[in-house]
Amino acid sequence: MGSEPRGLGREQWSNVPFTDESRFGFHPDSRRTRVWRVPGRWSRLQNPQEVHPYQEGTIMVWAGIRLGGRTDLVWVRGNMTAERYVQQVLGPVILPHRTQMGQDFLLMHDNARAHTARTVAAWLHTHNVRALDWPAQSPDLNPIEHAWDMLQRRALKEVPENLPTEDQLFAHLRRTWDNIPQQDIHNLVLSMPNRCRCVMNIMGAFSDY
């Protein structure tokens, strides 16, 4: 049985790893910029969003962040499926964290099909891993979205001129991920009470996060 985000306080958030997968490419083209035109707020600086149509292929990675730490960056070779999620993420990464953090551990993952499949639910039940009940289509609630933005900006800033292989791209992303200051991760997780209040106050409309 899970718990609702709004029912958690600051202390409880320390037991939650916020997880997700994201896709990164070799040489994104930043010539186009889109704007979220939220009524009354479209001109705010946080609303313009760069769009990166990747030109030379992409790789998918998965990770989690929490107070006091983060997971390793995991290369998901192909699209995320329930089978890959169990074999590459839940077993080798989540289970050791669950063992280390104890019974208060509460996994946050969104409602993507790979995360909610019956095989995943059965695995979570078998290994006594509780999952946080998460609202659909709510990326502004998940602080790891901002961690992905940190990774992309830092990785693109320091990217070598030539990245001929996916292995080199992943190695570059992993180094960059490991070098993100933990204080930045800490601040993202501690923003959760404010995120929840903001989303509830605006009744699920667009937030400033």
Q: 77 lies in a domain?
A: yes
- Give me the domain span that covers residue 62: 5-201
Residue 164 has pLDDT above 50, yes or no: yes
- What are the tokens at 33? 């910029």
Question: Is 87 in contact with 119 (CB distance < 8 Å)?
Answer: no
Q: Chain-centre distance of CA 87, in angstroms?
A: 19
* pLDDT at 141 (0 to 100): 78
Residue carrying the six token digits 């292989």: 165
Among 60, 133, 66, 141, CA closest to 97? 66
- 9-34 mean pLDDT: 72
Q: 207 lies in a domain?
A: no
Question: Is 192 in contact with 140 (CB distance < 8 Å)?
Answer: no
pLDDT, tens digit (0-9, with 9 covering 90-100), for 79-106: 999 999 999 999 999 999 999 888 889 9
Residue 209 has pLDDT above 50, yes or no: no
How many Cβ atoms are within 10 Å of 104's Cβ, its own excluded? 11
pLDDT band, very low/low/confident/very high, at 183 (cuts 50, 70, 90) = very high
Q: 14 lies in a domain?
A: yes
Q: 120 lies in a domain?
A: yes
pLDDT band, very low/low/confident/very high, at 156 (cuts 50, 70, 90) = confident
- 48-75 mean pLDDT: 78
Strands (E), the chain: 18-25, 33-35, 48-50, 58-66, 69-70, 74-76
Q: 208 lies in a domain?
A: no
Cβ within 8 Å of residue 102, ≥6 positions away? none
- What are the tokens at 116? 């909610």
Q: 106 lies in a domain?
A: yes
Q: Rounded to an integer, what distance in angstroms lies between the CA atom of residue 23 and that of residue 79?
A: 10
Cβ within 8 Å of residue 44, ≥6 positions away? 38, 208
* DSSP tag of 139: G
Q: 94 lies in a domain?
A: yes
Q: Phi-psi category of 19—alpha, beta or left, where left has phi over 0 and alpha has psi -120 to 50?
A: beta
Across the chain, what does the average pLDDT equal?
Answer: 79
| CATH code, 158 | 3.30.420.10
Q: Rounded to an integer, what distance in angstroms lies between the CA atom of residue 198 and that of residue 203?
A: 8
- 159-164 mean pLDDT: 65
Q: Which residue has the higher pLDDT, 197 or 63?
A: 63
Q: 209 lies in a domain?
A: no
Residue 192's Cβ-count burial label (10 Å; 0-12, 13-18, 19+) is buried
Residue 176 has pLDDT above 70, yes or no: yes
- 6-19 mean pLDDT: 72
Question: Is 209 in contact with 191 (CB distance < 8 Å)?
Answer: yes
* pLDDT at 34 (0 to 100): 46
- What are the tokens at 23? 């896709």
Domain total in the chain: 1
